[in-house]
Amino acid sequence: MLAQKIVFLCAVRVGFRVPHTSVLRVGVFAALTLLTLPAATRARTSSGALAPPANGAGAYATHHYRNLFAESGHSNRAISKKINAAYAQLFHGDPQTQSVFFHTGRNANGPLAYLTDWANHDVRTEGMSYGMMISVQLNKKKEFNALWNWAKTYMYIADPNHPSYGYFSWSCKTDGTPNEETPAPDGEEYFVMSLYFAAARWGNGAGIYDYKSQADALLTTMRHRAVITGPTKFGPRTVGNEVDEQYKMIRFVPGIPRNDFTDPSYHLPAFYELWSRWGPAPDREFWAEAATASRMFFVATTNPTTGLAPNYANFDGTPHPTRFPKSAIFADDAWRTASNWSVDWSWWQKAPQEQVLSDRIQSFFTSQGIATYGDGFKLDGTQLDATHSTGLVATNAVATLAATNPRAKDFVAALWDAPIPSGQKRYYDGMLYLLSLLHCSGRFRIYTPH
């Protein structure tokens, strides 16, 4: 049986196609279960300590980041102008039609600012953490600190008896009143990574601006937070940790009464590799294993023909339907999944199957019309929504970082030609657009602690 698992994984690594979907899922699920066995995932030194994880052959090891726009003939000056224009509009543009970033005064820790989902009139940890990541990548320390201050002031739950103690309310009104008092782990993930980058780029300050200490504490909470049951403003809740220890994967939510499942777009192996080096020492092996689990999970959860992933999935990769109509299809959340595996390839080059996946999903969208494809599909490729969204255009361009087919340049061109999102949908489309500009220009970088 072990030999069969190894043969299957080798086939996936070199890009052989497993024709039957059930065989694909069973094979990868069997491989994922190997991670639950009590075996070391990294070599140990003569003293018994874990050896440093392998650095791969990507940007972490080489310090070279592909600039897809330059490869397409654009000058560095033109690239900088495009990125700066997007930042200026989305962070400091017209407040009614362009900006999603707003200053809201100050408190004892300094200026406050939030980043809002304009269409839904709320502030989300997703957007706040994206805003912080964009700010640290563009060296905008004032904006970074103002966003973090707002998140810690209004979203962070500091009461040790509260079910969500140590986490952030995933959605608040723009006045800071919570819409829900439970977390969404993608927000915590981006908070942690942006804080580590801030510590490396700017150094640590005091209090909430001791970036590394804040990141360490939150990362520890994400894995080890004990189960707490108690009241919230929205009724009783039971909340635990944000990862599944058996499968070594991020959960969709850490609410205990819910059926346990994941969100493929929450899987960030490129980040987990860094946490396995920089995070709290007792958890480093776990995050190295989580990176491996997510890389295999990407194969399990994507359709073997279209490359599309569902919004929600079980830990074996199968779609997880809920009362939410878009839960088991390729829609808004799932747009990010290809970007995640492609950035992982760009930074680490440890999983050749990610190249296969990028070629596959770009082949599908080419077949749908590069300038006209919709943004919602069944996993078999049946279109459900004809809207051609800039956010999906953006993440499909990032997939080029792992793609090998010459068609990939068409997706980069589509992002270059896309206008900066404005109006009602400027929040999600805008954040994915700006993050993707940074990835495709080679300016979304790893900032390593000194």
- In this structure, what token pair is assigned to residue 180? 């829900």
Alpha carbon distance 440, 67 (integer Å) = 6
Tokens at residue 252, please?
Answer: 């969709």
Q: Where are the alpha helices (DSSP H) in 329-441?
A: 335-348, 353-367, 390-398, 408-417, 426-440
User: d(Cα 395, Cα 340) in Å, to the nearest integer?
Assistant: 9
Would you state the torsion angle of the CA atoms of residues 20, 393, 339, 89, taken in this order, to the nearest 10 degrees? Answer: -160
Contact call for residues 288 and 259 (beta carbons, < 8 A): no
CA nearest 135: which of 113, 152, 154, 153? 113
Q: What is the DSSP string of 64-124?
A: ----HHHHTT--HHHHHHHHHHHHHHHHHS-TTTT--EEEEEEETTEEEEEEEETTTTEEE
User: Which residues does 392 contact at the CB level (< 8 Å), separation at least 6?
Assistant: 335, 373, 375, 432
DSSP 44-75: B-TTSPBPPPP--SSHHHH-----HHHHTT--
How many Cα atoms within 13 Å fall on the side-chain side of residue 204? 14
Q: What is the dihedral of CA 420, 423, 429, 430, to 10 degrees?
A: 50
Q: In terms of Cα–Cα distance, which of 430, 409, 403 is closest to 418?
A: 430
- 3-state class of 192 per DSSP? helix
* CA–CA gap between residue 275 and residue 347 (Å, rounded): 14
Residue 394: strand, helix, or coil: helix
126 is catalytic: yes
Which one from 333, 354, 359, 429 is the annotated catalytic residue?
A: 333
Determine which one of 126, 344, 359, 429 is catalytic.
126
**Contact (Cβ atoms closer than 8 angstroms) between residue 310 and residue 378:** no
Q: Give the burial string for 385-415 (b: 16+ CB within 10 Å, else e).
A: eeebbbbbbbbbbbbbbbbeeeebbbbbbbb
* Catalytic machinery residues: 126, 333
